Structure 1
Amino acid sequence: MSDTPNPSVNAQVRRLSVQERLSELEAEQARLRRELVTLAGELRLPGMYLTIDAASTSALLAADSVQEVVRLVELEPLQGAPPHIAGTFIYRGSPAVVVDLAALLGVRRVPDLDAHLVICKGARTVAVLVDRVRDLVEAPVLVDGTPDGTTPLPWDATGLMAGLCRTPEGVRPLLRTSAVLVGSEGS
């Protein structure tokens, strides 16, 4: 019997550690953004953001975390997977796990034929199932509070939201990509 650690176990432990650290950094970044808004009044986020619809709400996802957007394809169910894991499919020769964003928000529905898969960049192929992909927004303004000042959004309680942004179409939650990627682990 060898005392040599299993390389696949080490890789999995390291990946989980990196994902945890990324999640902590995103949470700190969101806290610092909120603090900046209260200090500066208006903060434009650099870069491009994809506007997506899920669970009757529009949200923003950093475009630099997106590899590609494809139409919904037939998914192979995963036995024993949590409800937010919609299944798997083969993306460019590799298996991809599909995380249903609406299910993460507690909304059960059957996606229609216009649904999309947002393929996220990362070591593993993870696709986010959304009802619709709208457009790109450049440098949205980070705002403090909720859109109407009082009612929390369903995104708030999920850990998916990094903040709120004002866009030409209105105030939208900013999605934390790491929270979706951690959701793909089946937690």
Structure 2
Amino acid sequence: MADTPNNPVDTQVRRASVEERLGALELEQARLRQELISLSGELRLPGLFLTLDAAGTSALLAADAVQEVVRLVELEPLPGAPPHVAGTFIYRGNPAVAVDLAVLLGVTRQPELDAHLVICKGARPVAVLVDRVRDLVEAPTLVEGTPDGTVTLPWDRTGLMAGLCRTPEGVRPLLRVSAVLVGSEGA
């Protein structure tokens, strides 16, 4: 039987290919941003970015990748899922997967009742479980390294970080959305 656009196997293969290419594009975009920084000293990122708190640190996430922020709801465990998949829930009538950002960073903890789910835009609902969403930052400055010249953030070791941004509150890692979305595929 030939693969057709409606064939589930073909759809999965195409989805995996698109996600892989998206990840590669994000990595290339991060490399190009770093090259621009080295040429000009700094680069302001256009748009708004959410400040997320997870695992004792803060990070930025492009607001245009976010559909909605909601309070934590009861999550149903998903048997056989990787540890960072916190569970599933129903979002606007559709099943959704919740990925725990703290667990992706290597921090095991029980989320507080006032935690947030950041619903990412995409073909299927995926939420990022964070301790809280703090505020919006407009046009942060992408910087090279950290102020002291070292990178010691836990985000850097995970593949989740697309770069570092200077905000009024200090230097924050910029979260790669595709890394979280691909991380939900284990569900």
Q: Please tell me the TM-score bracket, short chain as reference.
A: over 0.9
Q: Distance in 1 between matches of 2:147 and 2:127?
A: 28
By how many angstroms is 1:141 displaced? 0.2
Q: Distance in 2 between matches of 1:131 and 1:85?
A: 15
Matches within 5 A, 1:61-72: 61-72=61-72
3-state SS of paired residue (2:186)? coil
Q: Distance in 1 between matches of 2:134 and 2:152?
A: 23
Candidates 5, 9, 15, aligned match of 2:3: 5
- After superposition, the C-alpha distances for 1:130-181 in whole angstroms (9 at most, x for unaligned) are 0010000000000001243224211111100000000001000000000000
Q: Which runs of 5+ in 1 are unaligned?
A: none
Matches within 5 A, 1:33-44: 33-44=33-44
Q: Distance in 2 between matches of 1:183 and 1:142?
A: 25
Amino acid in structure 1 at the alignment position of 2:114:
D
- After superposition, the C-alpha distances for 1:50-92 in whole angstroms (9 at most, x for unaligned) are 0000000100000000000000000000001110000000000
Q: Distance in 2 between matches of 1:131 and 1:80?
A: 24
3-state SS of paired residue (1:15)? helix
Matches within 5 A, 1:7-26: 7-26=7-26
Off by >3 Å, runs of 4+ in structure 1: none
3-state SS of paired residue (2:128)? strand
Q: With structure 2 as the length reference, what TM-score do the two structures score? A: 0.96
Q: Distance in 2 between matches of 1:174 and 1:48?
A: 12
Residue 73 of structure 2 corresponds to which residue in structure 1?
A: 73
Q: Is the 8 A contact 1:146 1:153 kept in 2?
A: no
Q: Which runs of 5+ in 2 are unaligned?
A: none
Residue 91 of structure 1 corresponds to which residue in structure 2?
A: 91
By how many angstroms is 1:43 displaced? 0.6
3-state SS of paired residue (2:8)? helix
Task: Report percent identity of matched pairs.
Answer: 79
Q: Distance in 1 between matches of 2:87 and 2:154?
A: 24
| RMSD of aligned alpha carbons | 1.1
Change (3 A) 1:80 1:147: farther
